Structure 1
């Protein structure tokens, strides 16, 4: 028996609050779960700063990765086995790509990436292809296997059916995170009939298609996604925490560039600040490391860094007002000037933040992100794009919703022991 087909002597089972159980029988999958790089995902939250809004949102990237693996395992073992367009030789590749798809996420992922100009997908591929425990396991399957897994995750693999299971507008990744994030945040929006969707999924040449009888379950899934984005992922309190987090990282980077002497030297950040981070250094980063520095930097001499860290650690977040950039740019310019006059640095304390989402789209060739549409297979075998059949989906298809807010520290403006008239003017403009 080759390593690729080796089974454990007894099936391993993880208890899971979303899927009840995660089943592992393949030796390769079990060995990947035990690697250092995969276990690191325990120390990175799935939802970044959302725990400051929804106190239950403490689940990790590892939780989610196991969930995506389990959905793909069920799609293949319970639904695709023996069907004409399915090649069983792709099974292990799909399972490994599902398990490892988020391997390169860093601490507080998206905020972190923006400040330091990183891309977690690049690090996912680097971990899979580099000198790592994960790579050693994958290489034991065959020497090309790490490259195949990396290509599936990067959406460049030749078999688009395999890619679509991990990355499309109805894939295992989204089906897990919507339900998992709903469970841990305590909201009801993210729940949909996944069992029904799994039963009506079919392999079809270059993508997964849905039997037309399952269309209503897919509509439910798309509306769940829409609600989760606006009620949870783009929650203004969560965004406030992200704004402060981002500004802490910017401030620390700025101070380092100015040769500021830190009381607590940010040794884990040096290669990030220099934008020369190695894979070895990146893998050492997790949220416990970042929080250690934020805790320590509350004692720094720099008043901005210490204040922002205290705010983040103690959840003393910025307030916000709705902001229309098309109509209020003059207000923003005046506020920027008044903040400076009040001795409050607008670069760190007056922030416009925008959220944007496209809940569903049909295929638009040549766009920066080509979104593979959801296709229904009709009783006569014809394949039709979802929004052509569903009035609900057609109503939201291609319609991007964008939201802008202006964040600021209200407590600083309420302290009128200095610059009273200036602060009163600021509050008047902001409507406080």
Structure 2
């Protein structure tokens, strides 16, 4: 059922990715997986880093590659600790872990209340999908096994942690891949060294102490990528515009559904709340962009302007603020309204925060898996106990709150000279930080 084949994908990050298993190759060629070619890995980040045009498809292949490398090391070096019958379920979960991501995934999810992880599970377990049919060739219950790795319910925590933990195949690929395509060096770390020191242990995975600094470097790289790339204010500005234009389209659909049935038919099930799995799979970034281009000529000035701003990268500006001062934002919204912009669509709060490394807290509501370092005497230490750098990051949250508004209000030679003075009076104080 898992006949050996020989296929190769040339990858800019990992060089050659070999596929020698028929099930894996057929999964790659399934309609649901091929759809990932049409979903950008970094969403709106390509408006900031123009090279970031890579897809979820290439990322998922990369995660499969890293997971396969690890399982082959485990099979060869640690046969007493790793059951090689777990290899195929690990590879499949690695390959399919993001198959449920949709068009402009995270922004779309916030507005239409979808969940890419739940949809990933549905794609894997729904008997109508090509992926499910391929997995059932292994065994009738194999789709559920793969899905349980995604939901973290799989009984073998070694498999789960290889796919989802503080340092897993998913994170290791997206840091290297996103760094490569954005053109930054922040996400670089020594993957080769990490693969040499990773080891299966009773309840998951650990890393030999000899490679601790490579793991430490990975944590710092992850922190830097979030601060410099993933949280970039310009990318977030485009997310804000995207969310607001979809919100406006949804509102206008309720007034005039005929227009949207003609110009954007695949969004109708999401506007009226009747969508199913195959409605979701019919959308991709290209379909959405075509709809936005259609809306650029809509008679509603707000929708037309927001669509034009998104397609032509006309950014909103932003200021940082402390959460405790959020109630003062009404002053800025009032000024935006005085300038003729509807604050319901031309202002928005965006908050981005991340824990670059959080040590294990078993009593917390959602405890994270820790990174264990295996000492030469066989004892284990949590990484932040050994690394002063990681200790400084452990448990600390990084990010900011931003208030987005039309740049015309504070532009030079603005038509809103009085309003500009009022606006800048507020953003120059200690509450708001340009």
TM-score range, shorter chain: over 0.9
Unmatched runs of 5 consecutive residues or more in structure 2:
429-433
Distance 1:313 1:71, change over 3 A: same
Q: Give the equivalent residue in structure 1 for 2:267.
A: 269
Aligned match of 2:295 in 264, 280, 297? 297
Question: Which residue is equivalent to 2:102?
Answer: 106
Q: 1:320 aligns with which of 318, 321, 324?
A: 318
In the other structure, the counterpart of 1:53 is 48
Return the offset for 1:258.
3.2
Aligned to 2:332: 335
Work out which of the residue numbers 19, 23, 47 in structure 1 matches 2:18: 23
Query: Aligned pair 1:139/2:139, yes or no?
Result: no
TM-score normalised by the chain length of structure 2: 0.94
Count residues with an aligned counterpart. Answer: 426
Q: CA deviation at 1:114?
A: 0.4
In structure 2, how many angstroms separate the alpha carbons of the residues matched to 1:389 and 1:426? 48
Would you say 1:376 and 2:373 are equivalent positions? yes
1:203 to partner: Cα distance: 0.7
- The match for 1:85 is 81
2:397 matches 1:389: no
Shift of 1:277: 1.3
1:12 is matched with which residue?
7
Q: In structure 1, how many angstroms separate the alpha carbons of the residues matched to 2:364 and 2:160? A: 19
**Distance in 2 separating the partners of 1:388 and 1:427:** 46
Equivalent-residue separation in structure 2 for 1:121 and 1:239 (angstroms): 22
1:165 maps to 162
Distance, in Å, in 2 between the alignment partners of 1:402 and 1:417 is 31
Matched position secondary structure for 1:321: strand
2:282 aligns with: 284
1:240-279 CA-partner distances (Å, limit 9, x unpaired): 0111011111111111233465365321111111222111
Residues in 2 aligned to 1:417 and 1:151: alpha-carbon distance in whole angstroms: 56
Answer with 205-214 or 178-187: which moved more: 205-214
Find the aligned partners of 1:182 and 1:133 in 2 and give their Cα distance.
Answer: 32
Match of 2:124 among 125, 128, 144: 128
1:326 is paired with a residue whose SS is helix
The reply to whether residue 403 of structure 1 matches residue 400 of structure 2 is yes
- Segment of structure 1 superposing worse, 252-261 or 53-62: 252-261
- State how far apart, in whole Å, the 2-side matches of 1:173 and 1:220 are: 17
* Aligned residues of 2:207 and 2:374 also touching (Cα < 8 A): yes
Residues 133-212 of structure 1 correspond to what in structure 2 (within 5 A)? Answer: 133-212=130-209
Matched, 1:224 2:236: no
Between the aligned partners of 1:216 and 1:79, the Cα distance in structure 2 is 21
> Closer, same or farther in 2 for the Cα pair 1:366/1:136, shift >3 Å?
farther
Structure 2 CA distance for aligned equivalents of residues 179 and 147 of structure 1: 30
Give 1:116 shift: 0.4
Change (3 A) 1:419 1:393: closer
How far did 1:17 drift?
0.7
Q: TM-score, normalised by structure 1?
A: 0.95
Gaps of 5+ in 1: none
Asked if 1 retains the 8 angstrom alpha-carbon contact of 2:263 and 2:294, the reply is no
Judge which range, 61-70 or 202-211, deviates more: 202-211
Q: What whole-Å deviation, never above 9, does each CA across 1:369-424 have from its counterpart, x for those lacking one? A: 32100001110111221111111111111111231122111125659887653454
- Secondary structure at the aligned position of 1:407 is classed as strand
- Aligned-residue Cα RMSD (Å) equals 1.8
